[in-house]
Amino acid sequence: MSSIAQLLELTSSVAAVTDQKIDRIHGITRRSRMLALNASIEAQRVGQMGRGFAVVADEVKSVSGEIAQLTDSLRGELKGQLAVLSQHGRDLAAEVDRVRGERLADLAHNAVEIADRNLYERSCDVRWWATDPAVVDCAADPADDRRAWHAGKRLGVILDSYTVYLDLWVADAQGRVIANGRPHAYPQVIGSDVSKQQWFIDAMNTRNGGEFAVADICRTPALNGAITATYATAIRKDGESDGAPIGAMGIFFDWEAQSLAIVDGVRLGSEEKSRSRCMILDRNHRIIADSARFGLLTEHFALETAGQNHGFYMDGDTLVGFALTPGYETYAGLGWYGVILQNA
How far apart, in Å, are the Cα atoms of 35 and each of 17, 46, 60, 180, 250? 27, 17, 9, 103, 98
Least confident window among 46-50, 89-93, 185-189, 201-205: 46-50
In a shared domain, residues 67 and 169: no
The CATH number of residue 238's host domain is: 3.30.450.20
Structural domain includes residue 122: no
Number of domains in the chain: 3
Question: pLDDT per residue over 146-200, tens digit each?
Answer: 999 999 999 999 999 999 999 999 999 999 999 999 999 999 999 999 999 999 9
Least confident window among 82-86, 223-227, 311-315: 82-86
Query: What integer is the mean pLDDT of 303-319?
Result: 94
Angstrom distance (rounded) from CA 248 to CA 44: 116
When pLDDT is cut at 50, 70 and 90, the band that residue 292 belongs to is very high
In a shared domain, residues 220 and 165: yes
Domain boundary among 211, 238, 258: 258
Query: What integer is the mean pLDDT of 316-338?
Result: 89
When pLDDT is cut at 50, 70 and 90, the band that residue 95 belongs to is confident
In a shared domain, residues 286 and 185: no
pTM check: above 0.85: no
In a shared domain, residues 147 and 236: yes
In a shared domain, residues 221 and 145: yes
Angstrom distance (rounded) from CA 147 to CA 88: 76
Domain boundary among 72, 97, 122: 97
Q: How would you label 58-67 residue by residue, b for 16+ Cβ within 10 Å and e otherwise?
A: eebbeebeeb
Range of the domain at 84: 3-97
Structural domain includes residue 244: yes
In a shared domain, residues 141 and 225: yes
Please give the pLDDT value at position 308: 95
How far apart, in Å, are the Cα atoms of 4 and each of 44, 83, 95, 115, 117? 60, 15, 11, 36, 39
Please give the pLDDT value at position 1: 46
Query: What integer is the mean pLDDT of 55-76?
Result: 66
Question: What does the H/E/C string look like for 241-264?
Answer: CCCCEEEEEEEEEEHHHHHHHHHH
Least confident window among 64-68, 95-99, 230-234: 64-68
In a shared domain, residues 244 and 285: no
In the DSSP assignment, the letter for residue 284 is T
pLDDT of 332 strictly over 70: yes
What average pLDDT is seen over the chain? 86
In a shared domain, residues 283 and 163: no
Nearest to 177 by CA among 191, 156, 198: 191
The CATH number of residue 89's host domain is: 1.10.287.950
Domain boundary among 258, 291, 321: 258
The CATH number of residue 270's host domain is: 3.30.450
How far, rounded to the nearest angstrom, does the alpha carbon of residue 253 sit from its chain's CA centroid?
A: 23
In a shared domain, residues 233 and 147: yes
